[in-house]
Structure 1
């Protein structure tokens, strides 16, 4: 990947609003061109299977793969959800310091989350907010 592209992707991630900042999420989605590049960033950042990410975005795996490979216009609700997931990843990486540790926490069933993995909550905006709150709790020393 070219240095210019890496800088651009890093800027995209740095500019993402926090999950809890709904006003800025709204304006971000409406003022930035949330497109295929964001899908590619999530795909590279997460390293998870297409089936998992497409479930989070409430789209079919085939649609997700089309979004990854073709310059197709995303629906507004998909753009918003995508920005929120990327913001959650940004927060998770800040809390856990490594992608591996964050994804281990994200994918492991948790007694304090009704024996569900945190990733099981990412298919709704309220679920994303809930998991983001759990990340904040971890930052302040709670067991989650």
Structure 2
């Protein structure tokens, strides 16, 4: 049971590390409080951010053999906006693409392109322009929030694909192709988080 829990947390960290590559937060401050690790951002450079995240991950990997550790990450909206404007590099997108294992047609819907264009991006290793990056970031910030509410990738995957009466018998994954849908799903997650499911 403990091994499964540790595996789920490490899997979650892989996603968050890949997410870091996309958001590329420009600031960092690492604080340790007993078994709670928080990564926030102040006024340091990207190299310091990456170094700090690696230190947290290394420490986490060691400590999970002996005790439960709660992981909490935070990202700045300004960092996300800057990342969208800069465009997302193919390698950073591919890390998330490989981790989430969604079909090409679903990625195409999320990014707002045709499936053929999606195939071309993968085949030719193309970077994403601002519009595609913005749509991808909107989806990924939803997934990051879902992870914080639901705990691990397995739960997030089940939530994404569960046909809910509150969503007119459709699954959350059916609504991730629009900004309005993303906002609606954020509200849905907030209700789960606060226990207000009425």
Residue 139 (structure 2) pairs with residue 85 (structure 1): yes
For residue 179 of structure 2, the aligned residue among 110, 122, 125 is 125
Counterpart in the other structure of 2:40? none
> CA 1:76–1:93 in structure 2 vs 1: closer, same or farther (change >3 Å)?
same
- Provide the aligned length of Structure 1 versus Structure 2: 135
Q: TM-score if structure 1 supplies the norm length?
A: 0.77
On the 8 A contact 1:36/1:70 being kept in 2, the answer is: no
Q: 1:72 to 1:10 in 2, by over 3 A?
A: closer
Alpha carbons 1:85, 1:128 under 8 Å: kept: yes
Greater RCO (Cα-Cα under 8 Å, separation 6 or more): 1
The CA deviation at 1:78 is: 0.8
Whether 1:9 aligns to 2:54 is no
C-alpha distance in 1 between matches for 2:194 and 2:17: 32
Q: Residue 96 of structure 2 aligns with which residue? A: 42
Deviation at 1:102, TM superposition (A): 0.9
Unaligned runs of 5+ in 2: 1-13, 26-73
Distance 1:95 1:8, change over 3 A: closer
1:91, distance to aligned residue in structure 2 (A):
1.2
Which consecutive segments of 4 or more residues in structure 1 shift more than 6 A? none
Does the 8 A contact of 2:149 with 2:189 survive in 1? yes
Output the aligned Cα RMSD.
Answer: 2.7
Where 1:65 maps in the other structure, the secondary structure is helix
Deviation at 1:60, TM superposition (A): 1.7
| 2:85 counterpart of 1:30 | yes
Asked which structure has the greater CA Rg, the reply is: 2
Equivalent residue, structure 2, for 1:137: 191
> SS at 1:115's partner residue?
coil
Q: Distance in 2 between matches of 1:95 and 1:13?
A: 21
In structure 1, the gaps of 5 or more residues are: 1-5
Instruction: Select the structure that is richer in helix.
Output: 1
2:156 is equivalent to residue 102 of structure 1: yes
* 2:84–2:133 CA contact under 8 A, matched in 1: yes
